[in-house]
């Protein structure tokens, strides 16, 4: 198994492949300047350039093009490196994962509250089920190879708000659940209490969603929609948490 910052091992792993899927390891508490991600991106790009597969598909994120530094800047760094390769590249920019709410299922069951950093709680943003992300990635890997760079922006059937997440949790749990905004002034203390050393990138990412500067690019990309509903994901998360 190759470490993601081991260029030689990655080159060996990629060599002979007709297509390569790239999933950058998430770093939720990055050091200053995203040093860990820079090492991984350099190794991945170097290995792809040496192995030269016929097609590269990379998972990226909504808002990867945002100019303001934030946690998602790590995916912008990956995209920038892949753009420099003389290889056909498909970039799959996925919306906020509905499954992120899995962390809150037990709290919702026990207290009837869904603490939300996405605010206001009735504001919708693009979200998507991870099953739709997997299907989209497989479609790109097995489909026609683009000429140069292709960007696909993927979201679910409908945009979702924290209030809608809470309502679906309530239906699945059989109790009332309300989305409650976590005050912005409390974020840094809360994240540091959870063990984070550098919470600012995460906080700026949340600001980007709340202020609207993290969003899909639109005209420069193909727009795809998944089919898995919010209710389907929530029911599955609740059933898994109970097992």
Chain segment 47-84, per-residue pLDDT in tens: 999 999 999 999 999 999 999 999 999 999 999 999 99
Query: CB neighbours (10 Å) of residue 119?
Result: 19
Alpha helices in 32-127 (DSSP H): 35-51, 73-83, 105-111
Read off the DSSP letter of residue 100.
G
d(CA 243, CA 241): 6
Chain segment 177-195, per-residue pLDDT in tens: 999 999 999 999 999 999 9
d(CA 123, CA 234): 19
Place of tokens 């309530």: 170
Q: Taking 90 as the threshold, does the pLDDT of residue 220 lie above it? A: no
Q: Is the pTM of this model over 0.85?
A: yes
Mean per-residue pLDDT for 228-243? 95
- Can you give the pLDDT at residue 2? 76
The alpha carbon of 38 is separated from its chain's Cα centroid by a whole number of angstroms, namely 18
d(CA 73, CA 201): 9
Check: CATH 1.25.40.80 for 7-242?
Answer: no
The domain limits of the chain are: 7-242
Bond prior to 120 in cis (omega within 30° of 0): yes
d(CA 47, CA 147): 21
CA angle (26 as vertex; 22, 30 as ends), nearest 5: 135
Alpha helices in 101-196 (DSSP H): 105-111, 130-142, 162-173, 187-193
- Can you give the pLDDT at residue 243? 78
d(CA 37, CA 27): 7
- Can you give the pLDDT at residue 242? 86
Beta pairing, strands 222-225 & 149-155: parallel
Tell me the pLDDT of the chain averaged across its residues: 97
Chain segment 153-184, per-residue pLDDT in tens: 999 999 999 999 999 999 999 999 999 999 99
Q: Taking 80 as the threshold, does the pLDDT of residue 98 lie above it? A: yes
């Amino acid at each position: 198994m190759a470490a993601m910052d081991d260029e030689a091992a990655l080159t060996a792993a990629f060599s002979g492949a007709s297509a390569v899927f790239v999933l950058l390891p998430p770093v939720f508490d990055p050091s200053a300047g995203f040093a860990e991600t820079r090492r991984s991106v350099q190794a991945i790009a170097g290995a792809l350039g040496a192995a030269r597969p016929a097609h590269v598909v990379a998972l990226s994120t909504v808002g990867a093009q945002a100019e303001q530094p934030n946690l998602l800047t790590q995916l912008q760094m990956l995209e920038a490196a892949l753009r420099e390769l003389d290889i056909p590249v498909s970039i799959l920019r996925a919306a906020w994962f509905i499954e992120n709410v899995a962390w809150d299922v037990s709290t919702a069951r026990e207290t009837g509250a869904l603490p939300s950093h996405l605010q206001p709680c009735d504001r919708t943003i693009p979200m998507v089920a991870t099953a739709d992300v997997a299907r989209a990635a497989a479609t790109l890997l097995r489909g026609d190879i683009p000429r140069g760079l292709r960007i696909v922006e993927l979201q679910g059937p409908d945009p979702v708000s924290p209030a809608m997440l809470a309502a679906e949790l309530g239906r699945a749990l059989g109790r009332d659940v309300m989305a409650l905004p976590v005050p912005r002034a409390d974020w840094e203390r809360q994240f540091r209490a959870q063990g984070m050393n550098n919470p600012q990138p995460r906080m700026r990412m949340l600001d980007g969603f709340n202020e609207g500067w993290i969003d899909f690019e639109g005209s420069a990309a193909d727009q795809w929609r998944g089919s898995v509903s919010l209710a389907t994901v929530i029911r599955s998360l609740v059933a898994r948490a109970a097992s």
